[in-house]
Structure 1
Amino acid sequence: MTNQNYTKAINWNNIEDLIDKSTWEKLTEQFWLDTRIPLSNDLDDWRSLSDDERNLVSHVFGGLTLLDTVQSDSGMDSLRADVRTQHEEAVLNNIQFMESVHAKSYSSIFSTLNTKTEIDDIFAWIDANNNLQYKAQKVTHIYKTGTPLEKKIASVFLETFLFYSGFYTPLYYLGNNKLANVAEIIKLIIRDESVHGTYIGYKFQLGYDELTETEQENLKNWAYDLLYDLYANEELYTDTLYSKLGWQEDVKIFLRYNANKALMNLGFEPLFPDNASDVNPIVMNGLSTGTVNHDFFSQVGNGYLLGQVEAMRDEDYVF
């Protein structure tokens, strides 16, 4: 007699979707931990920054900590409820763990660069910043109440767009030969987020293609409305972070560029006219700089001999 009430074991020798397998392999190949990156080597650079610059760096990492917490605490849990394959669930488990690694990495940066009082102030700022809380709560609300495809849209927007108001800062300093090890962590995170965004965007497209034309049009309009709302808030958030240094307009170009990338992950047309040539070349140079292997003998520096962190190309965002 066949037992119809059974728990099904995952079989990696019987793959339903090869993208699940290739994504799992990519994510495990590029596994890393913050503890292997010598952040203390950046202390001289940190001390050379002005008070406003140190305040900016601290706050952008505070904001990134909150967004990665959202992804690790509720984001992947909400997506797991609607997986198409067992292997997809395994990939989401990997993504959830790495989002926790990302969130912890910012605390490693804080503990290296900041005093205990400064760290307490950073987390108090996270709790009190209205624009930061708005985007975190907006995405969390969709994770809790949205449809499976709406949740994927929110996740892709977070991974490929909302993080980048924070990523701009360390990439800018890297392009100016400062805070190189801090920036290495960010580049490793960007490498992860690029895979996360493309994978979840791919899964979105599978479900989107199954909708009627009317359903597709309604969902596309919902996605663009959400992006407009998040971008309007992100402009305000960017102004609060960057206005003292006068970087806010450059950052907004970077945001619009990555908002287009998020739409491409979903299979939608770009919204903004900005492209890579419009982005501050110092930031693009920081993004494209290869990783550095700090430990020749153990080969466990931030390069990990797993390939270089490269500038993202358009084709990286579409399977």
Structure 2
Amino acid sequence: MAKEYIAINWNNIEDAIDKATWEKLTEQFWLDTRIPLSNDLDDWRQMDQQEKDLVGLVFGGLTLLDTVQSQDGMSALKEDIRTQHEEAVLNNIEFMESVHAKSYSSIFETLNAPKEIEAIFEWTNTNEFLQYKAQRINNIYQTGTPLQKKIASVFLETFLFYSGFYTPLYYLGHNKLINVAEIIKLILRDESVHGTYIGYKFQVAFNELNADEQAEIKAWMYDLLYELYENEEKYTHELYDGVGWTDSVLTFLRYNANKALMNLGQDPLFPDTADDVSPVVMNGISTSTSNHDFFSQVGNGYRLGQVEVMDDNDYDI
């Protein structure tokens, strides 16, 4: 028997968060092609080779994780939707994850020679710590329960990306690579919505479980976080020991791991708070929107609707 299709009706909303998230994401729509990355070339030429190598590697790692999220993550989550509107929101997220992945290639194209780009992707596709977290998350997407998939997605969006985000935020705090940072701030703004939305969907299902079932999934969640953090420590040491930022990056990671748990409605695991994070990096997150003209160069201040800058409250539904 042929499948019966049901037309999606946005005038009959089952969950108001679906509609609110759709509107937020569409208002925030952006493309990397509107950011004048070439304006950062003067800063780039003044950086030493170690700094340039670090920038290339962190963006290579971010590209890989966004690829996982766009190719496998959202399709896995769509298997367990509650409403047609939820699927529409996940379609939007899936597309924007592809935009994020492409935006790093725009950065490479502007800053790096072709042979350098090849080397970055060769490192990205073979690095054991990057591959571990990509494969671990994807394995959950392919074999996990609906709740486990949502946990993996939130951990990826709100925790694992941040070892890479630290670098451009650090340079932004020192008034360098400002247009590259514009892209990162746009991505951060998207990821904050993605993490809170998927975390909310987790909480809806989690609250339907009995006490024993909740205890079981919480134990699994915290075990996974410990496992991912252990791998992230090794990845951070490999990237940042040479420039001496490792301890600061790990503090930033622990802070964002707590944010991921908050998105899932759970208690923080680590003692680190915003006060412990480098103020230079925190300032990069909270910097107000740049005043770019919509019809010329565009940064995270441009609007298709009323767009807000990400702040700590964006992590909460």
Instruction: Report what 2:21 is aligned to.
Output: 23
Instruction: Report what 2:247 is aligned to.
Output: 249
Contact 2:129 2:231 in 1 (8 A): yes
The CA distance in 2 between the partners of 1:318 and 1:297, in whole Å, is 33
C-alpha deviation, 1:293, in angstroms? 3.1
C-alpha deviation, 1:290, in angstroms? 1.7
Instruction: Report what 1:168 is aligned to.
Output: 166
Instruction: Report what 1:267 is aligned to.
Output: 265
Instruction: Report what 1:307 is aligned to.
Output: 307
1:224 aligns with 2:222: yes
The CA distance in 2 between the partners of 1:186 and 1:148, in whole Å, is 29
**What is the identity, as a one-letter code, of the residue corresponding to 1:93?**
N
Instruction: Report what 1:202 is aligned to.
Output: 200
Deviations 1:277-314 (A, max 9, x none): 0000000111111222332655844421343424x31x
Instruction: Report what 1:283 is aligned to.
Output: 281
Change (3 A) 1:260 1:112: same
Change (3 A) 1:299 1:241: closer
The CA distance in 2 between the partners of 1:243 and 1:272, in whole Å, is 22
Change (3 A) 1:116 1:264: same
Contact 1:37 1:302 in 2 (8 A): no
Match 1:67 to one of 41, 54, 65: 65
Unaligned runs of 5+ in 2: none
Change (3 A) 1:221 1:97: same
Matches within 5 A, 1:96-107: 96-107=94-105
Contact 1:36 1:300 in 2 (8 A): yes
C-alpha deviation, 1:154, in angstroms? 0.1
Matches within 5 A, 1:125-136: 125-136=123-134
1:234 aligns with 2:232: yes
The CA distance in 2 between the partners of 1:73 and 1:99, in whole Å, is 9
**What is the identity, as a one-letter code, of the residue corresponding to 2:158?**
T
Matches within 5 A, 1:105-116: 105-116=103-114
Contact 1:172 1:282 in 2 (8 A): yes
Instruction: Report what 2:212 is aligned to.
Output: 214
TM-score by length of 1: 0.96
The CA distance in 2 between the partners of 1:229 and 1:98, in whole Å, is 28
Matches within 5 A, 1:28-107: 28-107=26-105
Change (3 A) 1:162 1:5: closer
Contact 2:72 2:141 in 1 (8 A): yes
- Measured on the aligned residues, the alpha-carbon RMSD in Å equals 1.4
**What is the identity, as a one-letter code, of the residue corresponding to 1:261?**
K
The CA distance in 2 between the partners of 1:54 and 1:299, in whole Å, is 25
Change (3 A) 1:275 1:148: same
**What is the identity, as a one-letter code, of the residue corresponding to 2:309?**
V
Determine helix, strand or coil for the equivalent of 2:152. helix
Change (3 A) 1:91 1:220: same
The CA distance in 2 between the partners of 1:107 and 1:120, in whole Å, is 11
The CA distance in 1 between the partners of 2:4 and 2:160, in whole Å, is 41
Contact 2:27 2:307 in 1 (8 A): no
The CA distance in 1 between the partners of 2:299 and 2:185, in whole Å, is 14
Give the % identical residues: 71
C-alpha deviation, 1:127, in angstroms? 1.4
The CA distance in 1 between the partners of 2:294 and 2:195, in whole Å, is 32
Determine helix, strand or coil for the equivalent of 1:81. helix
Instruction: Report what 2:4 is aligned to.
Output: 6
C-alpha deviation, 1:124, in angstroms? 0.3
Change (3 A) 1:16 1:296: closer
TM-score by length of 2: 0.97
Contact 1:152 1:200 in 2 (8 A): yes
C-alpha deviation, 1:212, in angstroms? 1.2
C-alpha deviation, 1:229, in angstroms? 0.2
The CA distance in 2 between the partners of 1:56 and 1:157, in whole Å, is 23
Unaligned runs of 5+ in 1: none
